[in-house]
Amino acid sequence: MIATVTLNPSLDEWIELPVLRLGVLNRASALRRYPGGKGINVSRVIHELGGATVAYALTGGDDGAILQRLLDEEDIRCAFVPVRGLTRNNYKISTRRPRALTEINTAGPQVSSTSLHALSRRLLRSRPRCVALSGSLPPGAAPTIYARWIRALRRAGIPSALDATGDALRHGLSVRPWLIKPNRQEAEEVLRHRVRGLRDAIQAAKALLASGPSPVILSLGADGALLAMSRPRGVWVAQPPRVTEPSSVGAVDSLVGGFLTGWVRGQPLTEAFRWGVACGTATAMTPGTALCRRAHVRRLVGRIVLRQVA
């Protein structure tokens, strides 16, 4: 079983408008609601691929209950710890003129050390095969929280996969998680230099690999992704087919879900990486914050070009 941790989940409200005008009434042409949060998205993809997963999260109030119901409808196993306040709402506003996606993310409820400790106890008692720690931190969670959990998971013999940003990523990286999955901007923040073309991205992946985790997946948006490993040693680039992107929301989370599913099933890491990139590509082809479908992933995986570059 793959466990995912989302300390700051959300309800994602997808709103479609012909055009967004400030200061006046706008009438939406469509409105859809999805369960949100990076770790929850990872669990949704693992489940879609037929894998076993449990989504661990902190949730609060009526919106937390709605999040639980939406995941129950998808048959996703959950282990939620309640907090005071309301689970946050994030807004994705898709406009036709100009063709753009405007995102408004809220901070989320204040969380206590008691709730965080209760969630970590439940997680460790479940003895998962791997744990994905993903997403932003809510108010009240220290930037060292992921680092502390990574240490506890290592003591229990459980590999950790970290997808975070800023101080949470830096602290987490310092205690050597099994896997990290930064994007280009997050890599730039950690390494403190620009990552422009493929050559820079390769060097960035190597530098992150040298800091401890193995493997490292560096996502590059429409340019694909890099996989860097120490055993076997090398860097591989995956180039997905060019597709029309109704929405790239959740594509990186889908990459992580596909990769972990392949790894748990015993695939070589390079093949698990190919499946992850296929999942991310399939998600980019779906509207709103809907995620990939298994049939689409199977059709795409053979079209993912994978080559060793270092």
DSSP per-residue codes, 93-122: EEETTTTEEEEE--------HHHHHHHHHH
39 phi, psi to nearest 5 deg:
-65, -40
Number of other CB atoms surrounding residue 161 within 10 Å: 26
DSSP 49-106: TT--EEEEEEE-HHHHHHHHHHHHHTT-EEEEEE-SS--EEEEEEEETTTTEEEEE--
Q: Maximum Cα–Cα distance for the chain, whole Å?
A: 58
**Cβ contacts of 213 within 8 Å, gap of 6 or more:** 162, 173, 176, 177, 178, 179, 180
Please report the sign of the dihedral spanned by the C-alpha atoms of residue 162, residue 64, residue 1, residue 220.
Answer: negative
Residue 253 among the catalytic residues: yes
The one catalytic residue among 12, 63, 163, 253: 253
Q: Which two tokens stand for residue 231?
A: 């055993």
Pairing of strands 77-82, 88-95: unpaired
Hey, which residues are catalytic here?
253
